[in-house]
Amino acid sequence: MTITITAFERSPDGGKGLARDTRVRWALEEVGQPYRVRPVSFPAMKQPAHLALHPFGQIPTYEDGDLALFETGGIVHHIAERHAGLLPDDSNARARAITWMFAALNTVEPPILELVTAKLLEGDRPWTRERLPLVIDRIRNRLQQLSARLADADWLDGAFSAGDLMMVSVLLRLKSSGILDNYPNLAAYLARGEARPAYKRAFESQLAV
């Protein structure tokens, strides 16, 4: 049974790899699992057939035989539990790696998404000029803390894990903003993630679509 994921038929980022199917592709590439991609259009995402897979009408989804999943946290965690390569064997180290996945999605990604909303969806609102510095401050606060924890380590907790995959995926959204320039260890961390052969394969495959 081949794993099938969904992705944008036409990604709004024009192939920069910021759509969230990239992190699922990356996880599958890291563990060496082949997969198929079913592209979906924006209207199709809101139709019953796709809503049956994803209650919020979004991508990506993941199908493997009888199992259908949505939410990248759940999908990447499932891939990491089912295949070797993304979670350590030691149970405490494994729990910490999973904690970093949650930290990426629940603590670091929300302020970064606020910036995306402020710039792309609310850029023309009169209050955006005042709001933007507050949003950027919240991001800087999180980056400062993350940078302090990472220090001069390569990865967040020993070897590369699903926690790093998720954290790098979340930080990628800041790449063009210049905000990471103040945190050289985070910029280097991002570059290390992007340099992984599995990430490169994931990036190239989403770009091809």
Q: Which residues bind ligand GSH (CB under 6 A)?
A: 19-20, 45, 57-59, 71-72
The amino acid occupying position 41 is S
Q: Which residues, at least 6 apart from 189, have a Cβ–Cβ distance to it below 8 Å?
A: 150, 154, 155, 164, 167, 168, 171
In terms of CB distance, is 20 or 25 closer to ligand GSH?
20
CB of 138 to ligand GSH, least distance (A): 19
CB of 57 to ligand GSH, least distance (A): 6
Tell me the backbone φ, ψ of residue 27, rounded to 5 degrees: -60, -45
Q: Are 143 and 179 in contact (CB under 8 A)?
A: yes
CB of 32 to ligand GSH, least distance (A): 23
Which residue's CB atom is positioned nearest to ligand GSH?
58
94 burial type by CB count under 10 A (0-12 exposed, 13-18 middle, 19+ buried) = middle
Q: Name the DSSP letter for residue 62.
A: E
Tell me how many degrees the CA angle 144-109-138 measures, rounded to the nearest 5. 45
In terms of CB distance, is 77 or 183 closer to ligand GSH?
77
In terms of CB distance, is 2 or 117 closer to ligand GSH?
117
**Residue 186 neighbours by CB distance under 10 Å:** 21
In terms of CB distance, is 166 or 190 closer to ligand GSH?
166
CB of 62 to ligand GSH, least distance (A): 10
In terms of CB distance, is 121 or 134 closer to ligand GSH?
121
CB of 80 to ligand GSH, least distance (A): 15
